[in-house]
Structure 1
Amino acid sequence: MRQRHKPWADTFLQENTHLVIPQAQQHKGKWKELFGNDKPVHVEIGTGKGQFLVGMAQQHPDINFIGIELAKSIVVTAAQKVLDAQHKNILLLNENAADFREIFADGEIACIYLNFSDPWPKNRHAKRRLTYQSFLEQYQEVLANTGEVIFKTDNRGLFEYSLVSFSQFGMRLNEVNLDLHAIEDPLNVMTEYEEKFSAKGQPIYRCRAFFPGT
C-alpha cells in the first residue's frame, strides 16, 4: 500500500530525537546505556505503525524494545503511538538496516522479531527476504546467548521458505505453528496486518528459531 506523504514528518523527527534515534550507528554496543538500564534489548525489524511494539512494551516492562522502520511516513505514526502510550522502554530507528552489525554489537540483542515481512515472491529477489542466509548471518552475530528469532507471517510460501532457510543455516526450532490463533496464545500481541488477515480467516504462521551454541 502506498503511504501518504506527511510534510510535517521531518520536523516531528527533529523534535523527537529522544524517541526516534538519529545516527543509530553511533550507539552500537551502547543501547542499554541509552535506555538507562541493564534490561535485555529486543528488536523488531519492520515496525510498521507500532501496534506490536507498544503492546509488547506494555506486556513486558522488564524488556527494552527497539523498532526499525525504513518509511519515514510510517515511523512517525509509530512514534505518535509510543508517545500516546507513554512507554519508556521503546526506541525507534528510521533506518535502512541493510547490515544490522553496523547498528548492534556482537551479542547485544536478546531477541529479533520478524513480523509480516515482505515475502519478495520472485526467485530473483530471494536475497531481499529477511530470512535469507545473509540476514541470518547478521542475526547470529548480534544475538546474545539463547537469543531467538521469532517469525510471524500470513504467507505460507514465505513460511515454508524460511523454515528451510533456518534449517540449512543450522538453526534449531523451538516452535513451528501453522495456525497461531487456533491455540489462543494469551501472550501473542497482534500487529495491524495480523488483525486484518486473521479477521478474514487467514491462518497465521509462527516459528521461533535459535542458533545452537549462541
Structure 2
Amino acid sequence: MTPSTERIVEQLESDIIFGRLRPHQELIEDALMARFDAKRHMVRAAIQELVARRIVVKPRSKSARVKDFTTSEVEEIYAMRTLLQGEAARIMPLPADHEALNALKEVHVRYVAAASVGADQNLIHKLNDEFHTHLFALCHNRILCKAIAFYTEASNPIRSYGITDEKWLRRAIAEHTAMIEAIENQDRKALETLVVEHMGPSRQRWETMRAGA
C-alpha cells in the first residue's frame, strides 16, 4: 500500500473497531474521497484492504459496508483462537528466552502506563496487540503465530468492545501480569488457561451489547 492508502485504511479500521462506523454502514466512495482528500483509486484500494482484513464486505454491484458478525461466526472465530493460542502455550519452550521475555515485559510496562493515564484508545489497542504478538512469538513457531494474528485481526471489532473501559483494563493488566509470571515460573498449565480465558470478557461484552441492540 502507498502511505496515503495506508492512512485511509488505518483510520477506517480504527473507526470500525471503536464503533464510530457501525455494522451495515455504507462506505461511500465519494464521501471518503472528500473526507481524505484522496483519489478514487486510493479509496478503492483501501476498501479492498479492509475486505481482505474481514471487517468490510463488498457485495457485487453494491457499495462496501461494515461487516456484521453473526453469532455462529463469532463462535467459529473464537473456537479457532482457543485452539491456536492454547497450542502456542502448550509448545512454548520453558524457560523462555531471556531477551525475548524482557521484550515482552517492556511492552507490558508501556501498556500499563498508557492505560494508567487514559491514553488514546488506538494506542492502548496497539500496545495490547503488541503484547500478544511478543507473547506468542515465544512459542518459536512462525506459522502458528501468523495463524493467531489472522484470527486476532478478524476478531478486532469484537475484541475492542470495552478495550478502554477501566474495569476491563484492570482485568487485562492483571491477566497480562499473570501470563508473565506463569512463564517465569514455568507453569505451563496456568499459561494455557490464561491465554484462553483472557479472550472471554471482550467476547461476553460484545454478546451483551449485541443482545441489547
TM-score range, shorter chain: under 0.3
Q: Normalising by structure 1, what TM-score? A: 0.23
Work out which of the two has the higher radius of gyration on C-alpha atoms and give 1 or 2: 2
Hey, which of these two has a bigger chunk of strand by percent?
1
Q: Normalising by structure 2, what TM-score? A: 0.23
Greater RCO structure (CA 8 Å; 6+ sep)? 2
Hey, which of these two has a bigger chunk of helix by percent?
2
